[in-house]
Amino acid sequence: MANATFASGLPPLPAYEIRPQPDLLPFISDFWLSLIATHIAYWVVSLIFHIIDVYDLFPQYRLHTPEEISQRNLASRYEVARDVVLQQIIQTGMSAFLSLTDPVATIGQEDYDVAVWATRVRLAQRALPSVLGTLGLNAAAISKNMATSYPLLAGALAGGHYPFLTTTLDDVTGAAVPAFAAWELAVAKAIYWLIIPGIQFWLATVFLDTWQYFWHRAMHINKWMYTHWHSRHHRLYVPYAYGALYNHPIEGFLLDTLGAGAAYKASMLSPRLGLLFFVFSTVKTVDDHCGYALPWDPMQHITSNNAAYHDIHHQSWGIKTNFSQPFFTVWDRVLGTKWKGDTSLKYERTRTAATKKAEKKAVGESSSISSSVANGSAVPRTNGTVKTK
């Protein structure tokens, strides 16, 4: 390859030596890190929101009142935590499968790959004279006039011709060979290290969004799937952070675990970038169920699909809308399933109903205790509590 590029007037490609990639962290292997990183992220972020919830730190940003949580949800916090742990066990198995089916991660070829992209940048410049010619410009004349003042620009206009850029092939012969311009290497590095990974990451998010939208919507349209699988998640009319993965195990596998794994493979993410994708997706999902519209929460401002958006889907009046998750709202907008209109009045009615129910329950319990005392079935203690005989 190096001889071929040199013979064609292109800079030679560097030699390289492949070696195993060292672990990201010194105290744990990448394999085990891939198994636990998403779970750690899930519970750390959930704990933060749980503390905010329990101590009612930001009541002005609550989507629901504490009364709604206690009166409307049909699953206990223990049931939610239990099912989440079960799903995370399934996710661990999938993570192990993905890691074991990946090729062994290696390093050492990066400079070579960057040089390959720099070569492509150089070859692309050969089309510039023809392109400028179609616009009535003489690239050769322009290049000649700029050669002294702007040699790099002149070289690009000449079709990537940089006779003044050379380097020695080796210290023994001292032979001079063509070299890349600094800007060519900068562009090549940006393509290799930023643009390509960015495109892969974006493709993974689009794949996961598409996968989850159509599976999620199908589980609402198909009565059997809703009754047997998806209805469990909707026992949480008032979502909270660690209930994000409260699902039927089959739904959790199809919607979340398999979807994320397929997105990882389809977008050809590297193991390190895949780890970032899984952690990011997990944190976003937890945040979408946190129950708060926090103005300083960056996760709620990445796209319009946030906690407030997804919370509408958990309400009885919005359950047939806002299927998109976890990143964008494109499919809801394209297919007409996005909630339209003001929700403030509907939320107010729901809060009022939950508060009245809580008050009615409290009055009923108080009346029951008073009746028991009057009938002699309970006697007051000196400390003001009631003791049943």
Could you read off the pLDDT of 198-211 as tens digits, one per residue?
A: 999 999 999 999 99
Could you read off the pLDDT of 267-308 as tens digits, one per residue?
A: 999 999 999 999 999 999 999 999 999 999 999 999 899 999
Confidence band (pLDDT; 50, 70, 90) for 353? confident
Terminal-residue alpha carbon distance, the chain:
93
Amino acid symbol at 300: Q
Question: Where would I find the H helices in the chain?
Answer: 2-7, 30-54, 66-72, 77-101, 110-125, 128-134, 139-146, 151-157, 182-190, 196-221, 223-228, 249-251, 258-266, 271-288, 307-313, 330-334, 344-374
CA atoms within a 13 Å half-sphere pointing along the CA-CB vector of 154: 16
Q: What is the pLDDT of residue 386?
A: 43
Confidence band (pLDDT; 50, 70, 90) for 376? low
Amino acid symbol at 316: S
Burial 369-386, CB ≥16 within 10 A → b, else e: eeeeeeeeebeeeeeeee
Could you read off the pLDDT of 96-119 as tens digits, one per residue?
A: 999 999 999 999 999 999 999 999
Pairing of strands 378-380, 106-107: unpaired
The domain limits of the chain are: 5-10+108-181, 31-106+188-334
The string of DSSP codes covering 76-90 is -HHHHHHHHHHHHHH
Q: What is the pLDDT of residue 301?
A: 92
Q: Are 379 and 389 in contact (CB under 8 A)?
A: yes
- In the predicted model, what is the mean pLDDT of residues 70-87? 95
Helix axes 271-288, 77-101, angle to 10 degrees: 160
Instruction: Report how far residue 298's alpha carbon sits from residue 303's, in angstroms, rounded to the nearest whole number.
Output: 10
Confidence band (pLDDT; 50, 70, 90) for 175? confident
Instruction: Report how far residue 280's alpha carbon sits from residue 267's, in angstroms, rounded to the nearest whole number.
Output: 16
The pTM score is 0.88
Q: Prior bond to 326 cis, omega within 30?
A: yes
Helix axes 271-288, 196-221, angle to 10 degrees: 40
Q: What is the pLDDT of residue 369?
A: 58
Instruction: Report how far residue 364's alpha carbon sits from residue 367's, in angstroms, rounded to the nearest whole number.
Output: 5
Q: What is the pLDDT of residue 10?
A: 92
- In the predicted model, what is the mean pLDDT of residues 314-339? 96
The answer to whether residue 6 scores a pLDDT higher than 60 is no
